[in-house]
Amino acid sequence: MNQPITNKSGNNRQAIIILATVFLTTIAVVAILFSFDFLGVGSSQANEPMIHTQGMVHTEGMVHSDELHAEMISDRQAEIAERSLKVMPFDLERTTHIFEKTEFGGVQQVLSDDGDLSQIELIQAHLAEEAERFQTGDFGDPALIHGHDMPGLAELEAGFEHLEVVYQPLLEGGKISYSTANERLKIATHQWFDAQLSDHGSHAQEH
């Protein structure tokens, strides 16, 4: 009567031994792979430059955090310049964007650096068209260049009815004036200007 119980107990012990063997073998294999970095866990970190921080001994290959930040900004500005080619018809290298934050919003100018009449005409046509779009809440072109998460952009799109946008031609290009009595939109305009100043780099300046 007790024989079946004994066989069952023996089978359970064998199953436990097999499972334990498989578990230990798996751990051993994973440990070997890690030791030889076959899983690539450390390879990506090894290829990244070590950031030099205060108190560390500077060695070859280390980069300072401010140098890394400057490199990131430079890459961003190059990307913006490339995107601008798809939106702006004039030569970005021969023009300057000027941003002036005011009490009621701001004034954006685009001027030809060399007085080329064809460039001036392209600037004026582009700014006139952009001003018309901004008046209807269409900020698609800035979003295409700078990204939809551009600071201030969402607020300007949502509150466009409370934002006055006026285009005016200039001898060397043109300008767009933005004015509002809404404090939130004024802040958004200033944030929008700051983002453009940062993204356009040497192609832009603050008045």
Distance CA 21, CA 42 (A): 29
User: Residue 69's pLDDT is what?
Assistant: 53
Residue 21's CB: how many other CB atoms inside 10 A?
Answer: 10
Sequential pLDDT tens for the chain (207 residues): 555 555 556 667 777 777 778 778 878 776 776 665 554 544 444 455 555 555 555 555 544 556 655 565 577 667 776 776 778 999 988 999 999 999 999 999 999 999 999 999 999 999 999 999 999 999 999 988 888 899 999 999 999 999 999 999 999 999 999 999 999 999 999 999 999 998 877 788 998
DSSP code at position 179: E
User: Residue 41's pLDDT is what?
Assistant: 47
With beta carbons less than 8 A apart as the criterion, state whether 135 and 177 touch: no
User: Residue 95's pLDDT is what?
Assistant: 93
Q: Up-side HSE of residue 23: CA atoms within 13 Å toward CB?
A: 6
Cα 71 to Cα 56, 166, 176, distances in angstroms = 21, 37, 32
Q: How many helices (H) and strands (E) does the chain have?
A: 7, 7
Tokens 């300007």: give the residue: 156
Q: Up-side HSE of residue 150: CA atoms within 13 Å toward CB?
A: 25
* E strands present in 80-198: 95-102, 105-112, 164-170, 173-179
Distance CA 120, CA 124 (A): 6
User: Residue 45's pLDDT is what?
Assistant: 47
Pairing of strands 204-206, 164-170: unpaired
Distance CA 49, CA 139 (A): 39
Cα 135 to Cα 4, 84, 167, distances in angstroms = 88, 21, 10
User: Residue 75's pLDDT is what?
Assistant: 73
Nearest CA-CA partner of 207 in 111, 127, 103, 97: 97
Strand partners of residue 100: 107
